[in-house]
Structure 1
Amino acid sequence: MKATRSVLLICDAAVKQILLTLNEKWSFILDDLDDHHVVIKADDEYRVRKELEVELEKNTYSLEGQ
C-alpha cells in the first residue's frame, strides 16, 4: 500500500471555508485539524493554491475615487 504524501496548510477562517468548498469538488483534504490548519494531499497542493488564488481574486475590491 502506497502512503499518501501530505502538506499542512495554515490559513485564516475565511480561507478555510473556501478550501472546504473547493474540497467538495476535488476531495484533496486528508484531515481538517482546526479552524486554521488543514492537511491536504501533496500532489494537489499546486492546484489547490492556484484555485484558492482565483477565489481570493473574486473577493477583492478597491475603493476608487477617494
Structure 2
Amino acid sequence: MRAIKGVLFTCDAAVKQILLTMNEQQSFIIEDLDDNHLVIKADDEFRVRRQLETELEKNTYSLE
C-alpha cells in the first residue's frame, strides 16, 4: 500500500473557497484543517497552484 504524501497549503478564506470549488471537480484535498490551512496531495501541488493562479487572474479587477 502506498501512502499519500501531503503538503500544507496556507491561504486566506477567499482563496480557500476557490480551492474547495476546484476540489469538487478533481479531488486533491486530503484534509481541511481550519480557515486558512488545507493539506493537499503533494503530487497535485503544481497543478493546483497553476489552476489557482488562473482562477485568481480571472477575478483580478483592472481600470484599464
Q: CA RMSD in A?
A: 0.7
Task: Note the alpha carbon deviations across 1:3-56, whole angstroms, 9 max, x for none.
Answer: 111100000000000000000011000000011000000000000000000000
Aligned residue number for residue 54 of structure 2: 54
- TM-score (normalizing by structure 1): 0.93
Instruction: Give runs of aligned pairs for residues 1-66 of structure 1, distance below 5 A.
Output: 1-64=1-64
Point out where structure 1 has 5 or more consecutive residues left out of the alignment: none
Q: 4+ runs of 1 displaced by more than 6 Å?
A: none
Q: Which amino acid aligns with 1:13?
A: A
Point out where structure 2 has 5 or more consecutive residues left out of the alignment: none
Q: Which amino acid aligns with 1:62?
A: S
Q: Percent identity?
A: 73
- TM-score (normalizing by structure 2): 0.96
Residue correspondences, number: 64
